[in-house]
């Protein structure tokens, strides 16, 4: 892997002016693409098709789509005028194409996306419910690819504009999970649940995905949904945690065993479940074995005990406490509504803004920063190192409105000299909405937070979750680096005023709360049927 070195350069005044507008309100300009997908899938055999569970979902949103469409329409109009084309072609609406599939150029799912206008933001989603791996495909790993194109009309100079090709992380393929996790097989290590892993949680009453309901967070509430699912962190709760706080807990590392207490935390919003004890389901019974040493496997049916005979359950779209019959002290009734399946999943959220208008090149690869560190403490020797993917020497790194010197860069690593605080803050003070002043209570020092932004040489702005906190005094060095947690981000681009047809409830049901206790007498039709 080759490294490149970029020399110091002055800040481009045109890019600087665009950044002044952008950094004051980034959410008003971003084009956002979010992908949720499984990291573990089962291979299909014969005529049986084991569709990916959960199915990959692509969300497209953000106000930046409006500007993207307007800019493309302007170039379409210019092209038509150059070709002396008038009439209906000039006013033809843009047609967007989204193709999601495997990276073998053979198996794919294609869909034509019709963009809708919701609160001045474009919002669409594509559900890849028909994807599967056949027995003829012997790969142990593969990636899914997403391709986005805009069709501008048959008579334009460039009728199709390709935005880019987006790729997921590697996805592992297995035949089926081992029946017992105590057995030593090739797939055993891959299918065990581990604390800190990102997962999807669902209920399946039949083998096809249309009968599956997933745990999904909407309006800070965990619900059940057939068409949407959320990515959760699963954490092993420490036995030393005696606080019993609904919003905080002590986590532990390691693989998860039956009888352990866990919590699910939504990756995007931070909404979490209460403490849940993982119980094994076997032969129609929930097994309560206090001495179990068996590890919990993905794709196995498990129950989550809340207390006594009450279990984490699903009634329609509502999460409830479901009381079951206790056959013995160690065997409880295992009904479908308390049986859950957990599988490793992942998500990626990509943002960009074409500050200088549409570019000739693809917007991909979109750089993503996953880790940021700092070295040195003084103005002379301080630097930051960022790691991720999609990085390159063609990217400029801006501290607020000042371009920093990139010392070293490759696809996964960049080392940047920290600009002197005087120059950064002198310009930023004229634009108070670009920076944020605050007081650090721990160190009793005033600081100013400056966003770190990546800018490609053709004017594409890529925001990051990294900021640099300059110290406003000489005490404590020049400052420190800070990286925002995923669930601290604002997600208004997708959730705002977008109703879920699967989650309509009566107001009386909403008043009952999320954790209602249900018994057999409460609901004669329980568990719910799926049509």
Task: List, as one string, the DSSP characters of 277-307.
Answer: EEEEEETTEEE--TT--PBPBTTSEEEEEEE
Burial class from Cβ neighbours inside 10 Å (0-12, 13-18, 19+) for residue 223 reads: buried
Q: How confident is the model at residue 530 (pLDDT cuts 50, 70, 90)?
A: very low
Cβ atoms of 321 and 365 within 8 Å: the answer is no
Angle at 493 between CA 488 and CA 498, to 5 degrees: 120
Task: Check residue 58 and give its pLDDT.
Answer: 87
pLDDT for the residue 204 = 83
Average pLDDT over residues 218-236: 93
Confidence of residue 358 (pLDDT cuts 50, 70, 90): confident
Residue % of the chain over a pLDDT of 90:
45
Q: Strand 436-440 to strand 445-456: parallel, antiparallel, or no bridges (unpaired)?
A: antiparallel
Polymer length of the chain: 531
- Residue pLDDT, tens place only, 332-352: 999 999 999 999 999 988 999
On the question of a cis peptide bond just before residue 341, with omega within 30 degrees of 0, the verdict is no
Q: Model pTM greater than 0.75? A: yes
**According to CATH, what is the number of the domain 39-174?**
2.60.40.1450
pLDDT, mean over the chain: 79
495: its two tokens: 């959730």
Pairing label, strands 318-323, 516-518:
parallel
Whole-number Å distance between alpha carbons of 397 and 456: 9
Kindly indicate whether the domain formed by 188-346+509-518 is annotated with CATH number 3.90.76.10.
no
**Any residues with CB less than 8 A from the CB of 411 and at least 6 apart, and which?**
1, 389, 390, 391, 392
At 522, the pLDDT band (50, 70, 90 cuts) reads: very low
| Residue 414 buriedness (CB in 10 A; 0-12 / 13-18 / 19+) | buried
Q: What is the pLDDT of residues 108-167, one digit of tens each?
A: 554 455 544 444 445 677 788 778 888 888 888 888 888 887 766 665 566 677 888 888
Answer for the pair 237, 244: CB distance below 8 angstroms, yes or no.
no
157-166, 279-288, 425-434: range with lowest mean pLDDT: 157-166
Rounded to an integer, what distance in angstroms lies between the CA atom of residue 286 and that of residue 42? Answer: 25
Report, as an integer, the average pLDDT of 488-503. Answer: 38
pLDDT digits over 43-77, tens only? Answer: 888 888 888 999 999 888 888 877 777 776 666 55
Give the contacts of 282 (CB within 8 A, at least 6 positions apart).
none
What's the rounded Cα separation, in Å, for the pair 357 and 350?
18
Query: What mean pLDDT do residues 163-172 have?
Result: 89
What are the residue ranges of helices labelled H in 437-501?
492-495
Contact 425, 443 (CB under 8 A): no
* pLDDT at 520 > cutoff 90: no
pLDDT of 298 over the 90 cut: yes
Q: What is the DSSP letter of 501?
A: G
Domain residue ranges of the chain, discontinuous segments joined by +: 1-25+367-490, 39-174, 188-346+509-518
DSSP tag of 43:
B
Estimate the share of the chain in helix, then strand, then coil, as percent rounded to the nearest 5.
15, 40, 45
How many CB atoms neighbour CB 336 within 10 A?
A: 14
Provide CATH code, domain 1-25+367-490. 2.60.40.10
What is the C-alpha to C-alpha distance for residues 529 and 108, in angstroms, rounded to an integer? 31
User: Can you name the residues that pair with 212 across neighbouring β-strands?
Assistant: 204
Least confident of 89-103, 146-160, 204-218: 89-103
Residue pair 62/384 in contact (Cβ under 8 Å)? The answer is: no
pLDDT value of position 510: 35
Residue 96: per-residue pLDDT: 67
How far apart CA 142 and CA 37 sit, in angstroms, is 12
User: Position of tokens 């809340």?
Assistant: 306
What pLDDT score does 126 carry?
Answer: 78
| Residue 506's pLDDT band (cuts 50, 70, 90) | very low
pLDDT(174) > 60: yes
Contact (Cβ atoms closer than 8 angstroms) between residue 177 and residue 300 = yes
Token representation of residue 290 = 């206090």
Q: What is the pLDDT of residue 188?
A: 62
C-alpha span between 68 and 377 (Å, rounded):
42
pLDDT of residue 133: 85
What's the CA gap between 460 and 352, in Å, rounded?
7
Kindly state the average pLDDT of the residues 376-405.
93
Burial 500-531 (b: 16+ CB within 10 A, else e): eebbeeeeeeeeeeebeebeeeeeeebbbeee
Query: By C-alpha distance, which of 57, 200, 204 is closest to 530?
Result: 204
Going by C-alpha positions, the residue among 216, 227, 43 that lies closest to residue 131 is 43
β strands within 71-120, DSSP E: 95-102, 108-113, 116-118
For residues 496-503, average pLDDT: 35
pLDDT number for residue 450: 94
Could you check whether 1-25+367-490 and 39-174 share the same CATH topology? yes
Mean pLDDT of 204-224: 80
Question: What is the average per-residue pLDDT within 201-205?
Answer: 87
User: Which is more confident, 513 or 470?
Assistant: 470
Whether residue 19 has pLDDT greater than 90 = yes
In whole angstroms, give the CA distance from residue 487 to residue 26: 18
Confidence of residue 91 (pLDDT cuts 50, 70, 90): very low
Does pLDDT of 245 surpass 80? no
């Amino acid at each position: 892997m080759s490294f490149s070195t970029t020399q110091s350069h002055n800040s481009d005044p045109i890019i600087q002016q665009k950044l002044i507008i952008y950094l004051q309100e980034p959410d008003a300009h971003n084009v956002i693409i979010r992908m949720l997908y499984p990291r573990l899938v089962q291979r299909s055999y014969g005529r049986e098709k084991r569709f990916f569970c959960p199915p990959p979902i692509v969300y497209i949103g953000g106000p930046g789509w409006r500007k993207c469409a307007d800019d493309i329409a302007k170039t379409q109009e210019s092209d038509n005028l150059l070709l002396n084309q008038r009439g209906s072609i000039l006013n033809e609406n843009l047609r967007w194409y989204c193709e999601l599939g495997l990276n073998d150029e053979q198996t794919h799912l294609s869909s034509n996306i019709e963009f809708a206008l919701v609160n001045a933001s474009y919002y669409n989603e594509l559900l890849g419910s028909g994807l599967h791996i056949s027995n003829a495909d012997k790969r142990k790993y593969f990636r899914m690819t997403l391709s986005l194109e805009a069709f501008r009309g048959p008579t334009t100079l460039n009728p199709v504009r390709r935005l880019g090709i987006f790729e997921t992380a590697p996805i592992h393929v297995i035949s089926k999970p081992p029946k017992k996790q105590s057995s030593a097989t090739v797939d055993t290590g891959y299918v065990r649940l581990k604390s800190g892993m990102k997962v999807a949680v669902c209920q399946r009453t039949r083998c096809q995905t249309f009968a599956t309901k997933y745990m999904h967070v909407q309006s800070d509430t965990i619900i059940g949904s057939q068409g949407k699912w959320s990515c959760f962190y699963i954490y092993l709760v420490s036995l030393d945690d005696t606080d019993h706080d609904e919003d905080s807990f002590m986590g532990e590392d390691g693989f998860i065993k039956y009888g352990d207490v866990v919590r699910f935390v939504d990756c995007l919003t931070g909404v979490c479940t209460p403490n849940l004890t993982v119980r094994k389901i076997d032969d129609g019974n929930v097994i309560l074995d206090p001495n179990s040493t068996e590890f919990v496997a993905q794709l196995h049916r498990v129950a989550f005990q809340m207390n006594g005979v009450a279990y984490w359950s699903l009634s329609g779209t509502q999460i409830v406490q479901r009381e079951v019959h206790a056959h013995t002290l160690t065997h409880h009734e295992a009904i479908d509504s308390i049986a859950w399946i957990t599988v490793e999943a992942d998500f990626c959220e990509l943002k960009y803004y074409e500050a200088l208008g549409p570019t000739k090149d693809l917007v991909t690869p979109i750089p993503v920063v996953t880790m940021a560190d700092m070295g040195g403490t003084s103005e002379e020797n301080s630097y930051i190192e960022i790691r991720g993917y999609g990085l390159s020497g063609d990217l400029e790194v801006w501290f607020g409105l000042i371009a920093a010197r990139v010392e070293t860069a490759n696809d996964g690593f960049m080392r940047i000299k920290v600009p002197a605080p005087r120059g950064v803050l002198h310009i930023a003070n004229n634009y108070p909405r670009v920076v944020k002043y605050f007081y650090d209570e721990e160190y009793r020092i005033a600081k100013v937070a400056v966003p770190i932004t990546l800018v490609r040489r053709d004017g594409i702005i890529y925001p990051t979750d990294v900021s640099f906190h300059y110290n406003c005094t000489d005490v404590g060095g020049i400052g420190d680096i800070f990286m925002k947690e995923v669930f601290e981000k604002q997600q208004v681009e997708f959730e705002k005023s977008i109703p879920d047809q699967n989650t309509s409830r009566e107001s009386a049901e909403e008043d009952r709360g999320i954790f209602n206790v249900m018994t057999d007498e409460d609901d004669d039709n329980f568990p719910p049927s799926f049509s």
